[in-house]
Amino acid sequence: MSDLNLILLGPPGAGKGTQAQRLAKDFELPHYATGDILRQAVDDGTELGKQAKPIMDSGGLVPDDIITGVIGERIASSEAADGFILDGFPRTIPQAEALDVLLERLGRRIFAVMLIDTPDEEVIKRISGRRFSKKTGQIYNIHFDPPKHEGRCDVDGSELVQRDDDRPEVVSDRLATYHAQTAPLIDYYDQRGLLRRFDGTRSVTEVHDHIRATLATLRLEEGI
């Protein structure tokens, strides 16, 4: 028996957060999004937030040891005992190596890494329209997936806002960071036979269905 430890990989705007939210519901697993954790820390004015804010605003990455500590606590918590969904972590080879060490210590392993492949042009288009609710975490796109009432979350009517780092001048730096530091993880996980690829240009529902079908097959094969 193995637990369902899943990683979502892909460029910013690929739909990792949206898919992670759906999968978290499907499998009743905790969803750990390092970007959300950091944004919350910024809003709360914590030390972590103060340190992360200028880095996030420039499209760079928070130091590996800091983010690894943040995620390590959560993975080891009791709510993650049956599995977890990681969204936005790992983002560098050292983070992936640190995750391997953390999991090995816990006697666990990664079940699958799901790459949501999305070309840069599509990412840029999507990010310009992305809005979210700080209260519910729900993500919308004013062009492709608008809320029922403009500027308001469907769940509770809370205000929809744009992320500071979704401004066009930061997006190209985030994409450059992705290609330089995160894309090498594709090979890292492919070489271990853990990588599964999904076409991020498909609709949210199509990508979700494809991921679920893939996970169902893998679980049958592995007997979990």
User: How near is the Cβ of 94 to ligand AMP at its closest, in Å?
Assistant: 10
CA angle (183 as vertex; 182, 189 as ends), nearest 5: 95
91 a catalytic residue: yes
Of the listed 125, 134, 163, 202, which one is catalytic? 163
User: How near is the Cβ of 163 to ligand AMP at its closest, in Å?
Assistant: 7
Euclidean distance between CA atoms 166 and 206, whole angstroms: 25
User: Judged by CB under 6 A, does residue 56 bind ligand AMP?
Assistant: yes
Of the listed 22, 39, 91, 196, which one is catalytic? 91
Q: Which of 185, 198, 7, 23 is nearest to 103 (CA)?
A: 7
Euclidean distance between CA atoms 151 and 173, whole angstroms: 27
User: How near is the Cβ of 213 to ligand AMP at its closest, in Å?
Assistant: 25
User: How near is the Cβ of 144 to ligand AMP at its closest, in Å?
Assistant: 18
User: Judged by CB under 6 A, does residue 218 bind ligand AMP?
Assistant: no
Residues facing 196 on adjacent strands: 114
Considering only the C-alpha atoms of the chain, give the largest distance between any 2 of them, rounded to a whole number of Å.
48
Supply φ then ψ for residue 107, to 5 degrees: 70, 30
Sites for ligand AMP among residues 61-90 (CB under 6 A) = 61-62, 67, 88-89
Q: Residue 181 or residue 219: which is nearer to ligand AMP going by CB?
A: 181
16 a catalytic residue: yes
Long-range own/partner contacts, residues 43-52 (CB < 8 A, 24 or more apart): 43/134
Per CB under 6 A, residues contacting ligand AMP are 12, 34-35, 38, 55-56, 60-62, 67, 88-89, 91, 95, 165, 174
